[in-house]
Structure 1
Amino acid sequence: MFLQELNPLYETIHPPSFQPRYTAWWITQENNDQSGEAIRDEDIDFGLLVLRVCLLSIQSLPHSKFPTTGVLKSHPEAMEQWYSSLANELDKSQPSTKKPSIETVQHRFLQAGYLKNYGKIRASWSILNTAVKNAHEMGLHLKEPGIPTSELEMELRRRTFWNLYVWDRSMCTFFGHWPLIPEGYFDIEPPYDNLQPLTISPYVLTPFTDRVFHIKLARYLTAFMSPPSWKSDQQKPAVVSEFAQRFHQVIVDQLPPPFSLENPDISWDAAHPALPLKREMLGLFIYTTEASLYRWFMDPCESLHRGHNVRAKNGPDLLALSHRRSLMDTTCKIISCIAKLYALTANEEGGSVDRLFTLPISLVDSLATLGVCLLSIQADERRLSKKGIHTVADSVLQRSYNTFFDAFGLLYRQAPHYIFAKRGVKALEGLHGTLCAGLGGPDLFEASPTGATMMGSFPGQAQRTGYFPLEQALVSLHASGGGGEFQGRTLIALPEWLPSFLESPARTSLFHSQAFFGDILT
């Protein structure tokens, strides 16, 4: 059950090599029980791998009412505690001088993912560090490891290494850790998507297909986001446009129809019950990666920046303004994916532990990003208003406001259940209130600000062709020589965390901010 039903998202083992080993392992344990012989080290490693697979499976139950009665002998929480205690005891019993095996690397990788899902980032990073060291000692980073290996064994090595790579790059991007696997110091090829196909006509689709795209996304993040010395490129509108165009060519345009971001082919969902969940998880990672390209353009006119932090001296740039729009649009899509994932996992409270960390954290980050974009637009509109220029809101801007307030309501409903959501609501309340006030106050909403849904507060609409009204007004004002006031003192109240967030908009600043999460991620 754990391998077939409860672990659909973690194809971190290679079934063609795992299943025969799994069968032989059980036979060996039965024989040892009868003969009283000691358990071999390699059997302990594989037993740890089995325990870690089961733990991650229990942790990833689709929802709190998932039918396990009659299948599991004990309650999932009791089994999780038992398996976790047993796995930790077995792991500690192993001598530090023991030579690592492929199973060692695999079970440490699964443990790192298990700890990450509980928000124990420091512990997860420590385990991942050990797994990478073990992988390096085994030469998993090499195309030619210097030992006899079959093609089946090489595929297992490829998958194990690249799973480590994905986690490593995610840790770097979201939590600011140094990469454990340096670029240029490995030459092993990416894994081959050679599992049993779910379908071969008109295209090949396997349970590992989405994982291949996760690897591509991790490599793309590395190319644009690392190392920190490349930060200046992230602030250049033309460079960002080139990366964004390339991103669509190498990632988005290559997606098979079941994983398409627009109008996916859902007819294949019957072939694999996890496809809907995989599609939304992959979509969330794709949109999150794309949004990373635009994060430096939350406030392109620097209307929210303090006077001594002003960088732009030549007025608003049309391309930079368009990047703010792209960031808002992509962030709205991230929030849509999060909402769908909550729907797919049955409810907003309880169930899959990923919702205790991954989804609430993503929701807080998206709300902060989208809210700052909207706050920046309100500040730009006020500056234009002082010049006698009034703009009309378009449908895209209306959607962004709707999404922000709906998503804040979702986060607010989670706050009593999850510490991450509670901290996020506390940090974002000021931003929420400022945006409400900028739109004319809470009378524009159906309910109180904490559960607000936008009403028809936008009288004007604009088609998404050519310039948007706001952007056109900003550029025209600068062209006429009236844009000097775009630098200088902020005209609206700022949330406490905003100045540092604008100066370092990467997600790492959010996670390290005392105003958001403090030490909760340790």
Structure 2
Amino acid sequence: MQGTGRKRPVSSCIPCYSKKQKCNHEYPCNNCTRRRRPEECAYYPSQAVQTTSLAETQKERMNNENENENEKNVGLPLDLSSNNYSRINPEPKHSLAELYGYFEDSSLNTLAREYHLEFSSSFPSYYTMVRNLGLDEEETRHGLRQRLTPNIIDEVQRDMDRIPDRQVVDFLVQYFMSEVNWMDQLIHPPWFLSQYQRWWAIRQLTRVSEVEFAVLILRICSYASQFLPSPSYTLDGIRGVSLADIRHTCDDIATKLAAICNRCDSRGSLFRVQHLAFLGLRYLSEGKSNAFCEALNHTIRVAQSIGLHSDAVTSRHGLNELDREMRRRTFCNLYIWDSISSRQLDRVPFLPSGLRNWPLMRLVSAENGGTQSEADVPEEFTSRLLQARLFDFWRNLGPIQDSEYVITEAEDRYEKFCSEFLTSLPSSFKLHPDKSWDKRFPKLPLQRQLLHIFIFESLCWNYRPLLPKDMGYIQSLPAYKRVLLSSQKRGLAVAALHVLDGVTILHTMMGGSHTRFPGIIFYTFEAAVLLAYQCMDLDFPGVNHDAPLNSEAKAKRDPLRVGITNLTREECIQAIHRSLNRLRMLAEVSSMAEVGAHTLAGILNKIPIAEGDNRKTTDTSNYQYDSTTANKVTDSLHSELPDSSSFDELISLVGLQEMSPNWEPLTSDFADGLTAVTGPLESWDVQKENP
């Protein structure tokens, strides 16, 4: 008689299981790394709650090795220099650049100019001067190979012993790469995963960069846990530990390790910029906008101190192209967040416009229907780059802060935006997009939808200053300006409706479940308030003076005109109700949504009801999200959701599938690094030597 025991759980990653290869159960595993496809390494969701003694055994062995290593390091001298002057005059605790506020890689500041007058015919950087004067970088305060003292190593180790089990960390990193990273794309998966696997091979953290990377991992885990549970993972814990406890542990350890890094190296590195950015994103997902703004300010200061704003700095340091690309992508993200924050909070940006140290738009080689093509297939960062260009366009063209609203200038900006920016979008990202690559790249529809939300939100921002105008001012205008102003008010309402429709579609694509994603919550509230403000006027939208468009081509060039022609007040009020429903649902997991729902409900109750209006207050106390709403609103955006099979595949996707750019020969260093994950960390040294 056959046994009735349970089927043994699958412990191998999906690629190894399908290829029937022996997997070492790490992330990324040995086989995926050897195949140079670490981003494809993925495990079934159920493996997050399976128990195994392998991780505990490895952790115990590593602890024993660390204790032996500590005993060997005790008593070793930290300064091996035999220079008598060094012993008589010990190294200062702070660098000259730190105390005087000089940018160390500048070729134009006082240090560089004085050295030019005495020693050189060119403008060398600060570090060039240090080397020419006979001081090795190892001996400087900001030595990029800087090692930790034994006492600090022990302090770091005590915190590292509290890190969650590696399987928990692997699961959160994997979930972040596959389900969260598409939103901001701060991390390039192949670059990060190569560093990630080498980091786990380190027996003991003895350098600042290694500790900085530990902080980055912890910040990623904390941020990823904000989006759990989810449609692809419905449990509220991992391996028996609650998500709240995991998040608290990661944040606590990361904060302590980050403080150690600041004490040892006040300047920072790319890793520091990234983990500070993730801290800010966590604040934003928790609804702490002011804390996000402060974290962004700190992040930008560190980024400027290491020269992230200047590609010339990275060129002088000799970084390979992949590392330079990561710096450009990080700076591009900082520019986007700074633009969004300054617009939402009505503050002056930290970064001025014109700083375009951004990546180039790249095409990838992809196969579709058996044919190889590079016609118009963007790699995964293209959507983020388009967002940066969108904000830069409005920074250079948009209204000056606190300036008087000029009706004709607002219309000129809109026409220029339609003729210059919208026409320059790649076909996969246009408002009427080419969707032939959507099934090949599952995250492309989500990235495109988020870009469209930003596009219509920017149009709201262009027309928003017209709302406070009183009737006395409007009546004083010439007749043609009153007509134009009325058209712009309708255009503002149409743009807000497009934002809400886009948010509905995006939310449905993400599973229509509870989420803390600010892109869903914030823009739902913002657009709904704009509509509510206009609906306070019983005569809104008034008489339409705009002629209907006679062709689809004209509609593509003027995305608001079609909506202006058919706009009704009832449509706007219903959109506000749907927004309130969404905010009330999300209020269960988000304080931002909770406060937004309470505020919007109060505003909605103040909207006057027109005579003959049968509108009723909607009871949303037991509201459940209805995904069919998205299917109805897609007609107004001339966009469609993927078919049911591809949508289910998108939601159930566990492995990382992304668009990979063709880096050509420039990635040889990266590819070689993947084959030597247990060797010395040369790439770490390059990163530290040349921030």
In the superposition, the TM-score normalised over structure 1's length comes to 0.71
Q: Relative to structure 1, is the Cα distance of residues 58 and 271 closer, same or farther in structure 2, using a 3 angstrom cutoff?
A: farther
Q: Relative to structure 1, is the Cα distance of residues 65 and 102 closer, same or farther in structure 2, using a 3 angstrom cutoff?
A: closer
- Counterpart CA distance in 2 for 1:70 and 1:112 is 24
Equivalent of 1:171, from 341, 344, 348? 341
Equivalent of 2:509, from 344, 351, 354? 344
> Number of residue pairs matched?
415
Q: Relative to structure 1, is the Cα distance of residues 82 and 419 closer, same or farther in structure 2, using a 3 angstrom cutoff?
A: closer
Equivalent of 2:566, from 390, 395, 402? 395
Residue of structure 2 in register with 1:78 after alignment: 245
Q: Tell me, yes or no, if structure 1 residue 370 matches structure 2 residue 544.
A: no
Give CA-to-partner distance per residue, 1:402-433, whole Å, 9 cap, x none: 32343344445555665434433443445434
Residue of structure 2 in register with 1:5 after alignment: 178
- Counterpart CA distance in 2 for 1:45 and 1:195 is 33
Residue of structure 2 in register with 1:320 after alignment: 485
Q: Tell me, yes or no, if structure 1 residue 296 matches structure 2 residue 465.
A: yes
Equivalent of 1:18, from 192, 195, 208? 192
Equivalent of 2:579, from 387, 407, 410? 407
- Aligned pairs for 1:70-109 within 5 A: 74-96=241-263, 97-109=265-277
Structure 1 residue 166: Cα displacement: 0.9
- Counterpart CA distance in 1 for 2:582 and 2:180 is 27
Structure 1 residue 67: Cα displacement: 5.3
Residue of structure 2 in register with 1:277 after alignment: 446
Among all aligned residue pairs of Structure 1 and Structure 2, give the percentage whose two residues are the same amino acid. 22
Equivalent of 1:154, from 324, 335, 338? 324
Structure 1 residue 268: Cα displacement: 2.3
Residue of structure 1 in register with 2:296 after alignment: 128
Residue of structure 2 in register with 1:52 after alignment: 219
Residue of structure 2 in register with 1:386 after alignment: none
Residue of structure 1 in register with 2:413 after alignment: 243
- Counterpart CA distance in 2 for 1:62 and 1:281 is 22
Give CA-to-partner distance per residue, 1:158-186, whole Å, 9 cap, x none: 112111111111110001233211235x4
Structure 1 residue 333: Cα displacement: 0.7
- Aligned pairs for 1:422-441 within 5 A: 422-429=594-601, 431-441=603-613
Structure 1 residue 436: Cα displacement: 4.6
Equivalent of 2:389, from 197, 216, 230? 216
Contact 2:362 2:382 in 1 (8 A): no
Aligned-residue RMSD, C-alpha: 3.2
Structure 1 residue 332: Cα displacement: 0.5
Structure 1 residue 211: Cα displacement: 0.7
Partner secondary structure for residue 111 of structure 1:
helix
Partner secondary structure for residue 347 of structure 2:
coil
Partner secondary structure for residue 22 of structure 1:
helix
Q: Relative to structure 1, is the Cα distance of residues 148 and 226 closer, same or farther in structure 2, using a 3 angstrom cutoff?
A: farther
Structure 1 residue 3: Cα displacement: 5.2
- Counterpart CA distance in 1 for 2:459 and 2:542 is 27
Contact 1:412 1:425 in 2 (8 A): yes
Give CA-to-partner distance per residue, 1:69-107, whole Å, 9 cap, x none: 998674444332222222112112223453311111111
Structure having the higher Rg: 2
Contact 1:291 1:330 in 2 (8 A): yes
2:245 corresponds to which letter in structure 1? A
Contact 1:360 1:411 in 2 (8 A): yes
Residue of structure 2 in register with 1:359 after alignment: 520
Residue of structure 2 in register with 1:191 after alignment: 359
Residue of structure 1 in register with 2:378 after alignment: 205
Residue of structure 1 in register with 2:281 after alignment: 113
Q: Relative to structure 1, is the Cα distance of residues 77 and 374 closer, same or farther in structure 2, using a 3 angstrom cutoff?
A: same
Structure 1 residue 282: Cα displacement: 1.6
Contact 1:49 1:103 in 2 (8 A): yes
Q: Which moved more, 1:208-217 or 1:65-74?
A: 65-74
Structure 1 residue 216: Cα displacement: 0.9
- Counterpart CA distance in 1 for 2:219 and 2:594 is 30
Structure 1 residue 380: Cα displacement: 8.2
Contact 1:140 1:158 in 2 (8 A): yes
Residue of structure 1 in register with 2:119 after alignment: none
Equivalent of 1:335, from 490, 495, 500? 500
- Counterpart CA distance in 1 for 2:237 and 2:591 is 33
- Counterpart CA distance in 2 for 1:168 and 1:244 is 23
Q: Tell me, yes or no, if structure 1 residue 40 matches structure 2 residue 207.
A: yes
Partner secondary structure for residue 537 of structure 2:
helix
1:23 corresponds to which letter in structure 2? Q
- Counterpart CA distance in 1 for 2:440 and 2:333 is 25
- Aligned pairs for 1:251-270 within 5 A: 251-262=421-432, 264-270=433-439
- Counterpart CA distance in 2 for 1:410 and 1:116 is 19
Structure 1 residue 366: Cα displacement: 1.1
Contact 1:432 1:449 in 2 (8 A): no
Structure 2, gaps ≥5 residues long = 1-173, 368-372, 544-563, 621-691
Q: Relative to structure 1, is the Cα distance of residues 61 and 6 closer, same or farther in structure 2, using a 3 angstrom cutoff?
A: farther
Give CA-to-partner distance per residue, 1:212-239, whole Å, 9 cap, x none: 111112212322446525x22xx22221
Contact 1:155 1:192 in 2 (8 A): no
Give CA-to-partner distance per residue, 1:40-75, whole Å, 9 cap, x none: 111111122222223322323482662579986744
Contact 1:195 1:206 in 2 (8 A): yes
Partner secondary structure for residue 574 of structure 2:
helix
Partner secondary structure for residue 92 of structure 1:
helix
In the superposition, the TM-score normalised over structure 2's length comes to 0.55
- Counterpart CA distance in 2 for 1:347 and 1:81 is 27
Q: Relative to structure 1, is the Cα distance of residues 105 and 197 closer, same or farther in structure 2, using a 3 angstrom cutoff?
A: farther
Contact 2:376 2:428 in 1 (8 A): no
Contact 2:362 2:378 in 1 (8 A): no
Q: Relative to structure 1, is the Cα distance of residues 226 and 191 closer, same or farther in structure 2, using a 3 angstrom cutoff?
A: farther
